Amino acid sequence: MNRNVLLEDLSVKDYKETWDFQTELLQEIVDTKIENRRNSTQKATKNHFLFVEHPHVYTLGKSGDLSNLLLNENQLKEKGATFYKINRGGDITYHGPGQIVGYPILDLENFFTDIHKYLRFLEEVIILTIAEYGLKGLRSDGETGVWLDVGTPFARKICAMGIRSSRWVTMHGFALNANVNLGYFDNIIPCGIKGKAVTSMEAELGKKVDLAEVKEKILKHFKTLFEVEKFITL
């Protein structure tokens, strides 16, 4: 089992370009697995972790409801935003500047073959990360992601998650609202959940956070939980 993870920070990158890149990486891993099974070989499969910030974009999961996007095509252009219907789970979400997006493209056969556990571990990575800033992240039953003040009228989501997997290889991932402009969430029903607010680390702490520092903490907790051997920076 290969528990090394290739780490790449893409900085600011177009959503569709990044989606295509993820797809290429996933397909490379899947092809290796198919080759191994055909030829009874044991060539190691790669694992990747991408960090990225996207320009303003709304994405709708495969089971999502388009009516949860509250803008028409012209209004999207006015907001400087794009829209994509994509192949992850979940409903609609927003990505934009100041948000930390993480895409682990892992062969789970190198770690554990349990999608439910994988999602819970991703949530735990974020819960442990924001705890270092004094924020108490929680899970909300039936609502993947990380929330604050669950079970109160003030419940609000700070990190959205949505994944896809093929032959135990994952893509897509999490979007942690760090210093993001929350106004862009007003144009959707986030994750298709009515009456639930969205927040950010900046809004909760009353100050911007250092994105590089938050990323370091995410990697630290990811490494521990997933028992990563080492991150190899590309």
Residues in the chain: 234
Judge whether 160 is annotated as a binding position. yes
pLDDT value, residue 192: 55
The sign of the torsion formed by the CA atoms of 97, 189, 83, 139 equals positive
Residue 165 burial class via C-beta count within 10 angstroms: exposed 0-12, middle 13-18, buried 19 and up: middle
Domain count, the chain: 1
Q: 218 lies in a domain?
A: yes
Give the pLDDT confidence of 16-46 residue by residue, as tens digits: 999 999 999 999 999 999 999 999 999 999 9
The answer to the question of residue 3 being in a domain is no
pLDDT score for 91: 84
pLDDT value for 157? 95
Cβ(201)–Cβ(84) under 8 Å? no
| Band of residue 215 on the pLDDT scale cut at 50, 70, 90 | very high
Give the pLDDT of residue 190.
64
Does a structural domain hold residue 46?
Answer: yes
165-182 pLDDT, tens per residue? 999 999 999 999 999 999
142: how many CB neighbours lie within 10 A of its CB?
6
1 within some domain: no
Give the Cβ contact number of residue 58 at 10 Å. 25
Give burial (CB, 10 Å; 0-12/13-18/19+) of 173: buried
DSSP one-letter code for 147: E
Averaged pLDDT for residues 202-215: 98
Is residue 56 marked as binding?
no
CATH of the domain at 121: 3.30.930.10
Which residue in the list 26, 52, 178, 191 is annotated as catalytic?
191
Residues spanned by the domain of 167 = 8-233
Share of the chain above pLDDT 70, in %: 97
115 is in an annotated binding site: no
pLDDT at 13: 98
Distance (Å, whole) CA 196 – CA 138: 14
Cα angle at 193 between 13 and 117, to 5 degrees?
70
Assigned domain for 103 exists: yes
Identify whether 2 is part of a domain.
no
- Selected residue with higher pLDDT from 65 and 168: 168
pLDDT score for 47: 98
Whether 159 is catalytic is no
Q: What is the mean pLDDT of residues 98-104?
A: 98
In a domain, 152, yes or no: yes
Domain assignment present for residue 215? The answer is yes
What is the per-residue pLDDT for 195? 60
What's the pLDDT score for residue 193? 59
- At 199, is the pLDDT very low, low, confident or very high (cuts 50, 70, 90)? very high
Residue with tokens 């996207």: 54
